[in-house]
Structure 1
Amino acid sequence: MLQLDNISKAFGGRMALDGVSFGVREGRMTGFVGGNGAGKTTTMRILLGVLERDAGEITLDGESLGAPQRRNFGYMPEERGLYPKMKVREQLVYLARLHGMTGADAGRNADQLMEELGLGERRDSTLESLSLGNQQRAQIAAALVHNPHILVLDEPFSGLDPLAVDTVVDVLTQRAADGASVLFSSHQLDIVERLCDDLVIIAEGSIRASGEREALRAAHSAPRFTIASSNDLGWLHGEPEITVVELEHGRAIFDAAAPAAAQRVLRRAVAEGDVSTFAPQHASLAQIFREVIQ
């Protein structure tokens, strides 16, 4: 497990990171979200050793993180970082060789990744000749080509169309299923919500929320329920401990002051007609994000 404990970093008189602590677990996708200037990129650069931290500790499986362990990292920066005039396959093979792979293994990995990411037909194209979306795919391939155990990806979905997003999601999900630890930042909260297992929210250099996605959704959800029935649900307005949020004929959204009140509503609805839907409503990632950064 990759663990950050009380990481702090200041630039001049401005505190960029203030006691940042969270973990990235093996075989899981950890979404790292925050507004512009929140501290995401600074955190990632400290993880990679590009920036020095002012205080705190970073460990991998209980041991202090250093250069030898970072050789098993794969990093994709937000800015373009590849050689624009170099051919895609040639570049991927070169980067894999820099990580100690044989020429045969490097070529095999490069070919496999280009096929997985839809770049097979552009293998001999220079990076600068590719569309921005394909350049982004090439950057992702560069982060993966040496089979890293830990992936740190800064805005990997930027500039990708929906089909390309699905392709990249499939590739990253498979890497996590194979045991890699994946930390990725994104402003696209809908993608983070469907992809991440764990979630870290940062604002103004401090962690505002972190943990498993579903646990955070449950913790930040109001006691709100959706119900749909074959009969009109107008009687909900007269129910004690119930606040109707939306009501339209046989469909309603309501808040319950206690679980027993919600169950009472369900029993009455079943007694009066067929109930096709009854379920708690969980907060979306966007709702949690707005709540914790305020």
Structure 2
Amino acid sequence: MKKINSVVTLALFASSCASTYRPSETIEAKMARFESSKSMVNVVPDLPVKEVKISNRKPASAEADQVVDELAKKPNKRLYFSTLYTQYETMRKIPQNESAPTIQYCPHFHTSVVEYKESNPQGPAFNKVDWKQRYKGDWTVLAESYPELNLPLDDYNQHPKVSEVMSNSETSKMYSDSINEVMNKAFSLHVMKTYRELTELCEVGTSDNYYAYENLLGHIERHEQSRDPVLNNIKTLFKTTLFSNMAIINSLGRSQKKITARGPASAQKSVEDSYQQAVLKRFGVEWFDEYFKTQK
């Protein structure tokens, strides 16, 4: 009887194992499953790209920068998180009458958050933006030079963009203060989406957009011509969060008067600008700085 019970027990155990067993998931399956969830997606804005002639040579300032060199040696995920975090800290100061949350708890990248706060306790020195004073002219034309006008007003789609709403006389009537109201809404939404991605990175250690960043980096490392300063390569880079944010922040940074920080100016540059330079160095596209200078 004991022998029969043992056989039955083994049979039930084997049956249970067979019913719960799942084959090892392929990387393609993981990506498909991950990308199917919209709960934490940070949709990258659809930015226009201008045809410009850019030298493939590194700028002189990029030749010797110990801070940038050290940052560029960080592991991929840490460099991605730290750069996105510094971008968020800059962008959350920009919308009028808005206060975006701070990152308080970040188990996966705790050291990166602490390092940023210790090296830049004052935070980025940016003014709030008066959007009405910033833009003059046709919205479609302006959107070619001002990347932030391509921010969407939808949480999960690239449209409608700010420029599209402002170009439409019917939809623009919905906003009493016109561009200030529309731009603040779009920028605040973009900041919150960035916050959600940072929260996901802090809690899970990865995100949809990090996978896109990592895949693009791998592609560039395998195809040297992907580093050339040509239109298609610029378009591809703009499909990633970090490069899209770089375009927006650089555009706003050049056209506004920065607040004078109490700390030394070099400290501000080493924290905010150096992460950008480190990413450009990691991708081997240091020439990208020249492209930013073509924006207004």
Higher strand fraction (1 or 2): 1
**Pairwise same-fold verdict (TM > 0.5):** no
Higher relative contact order (Cα pairs below 8 Å, separated by 6+ residues): 2
TM-score between the two structures when normalised by the length of structure 1? 0.22
Which structure dedicates a bigger proportion of its chain to helix?
A: 2
Per the normalisation by structure 2, the TM-score is 0.21
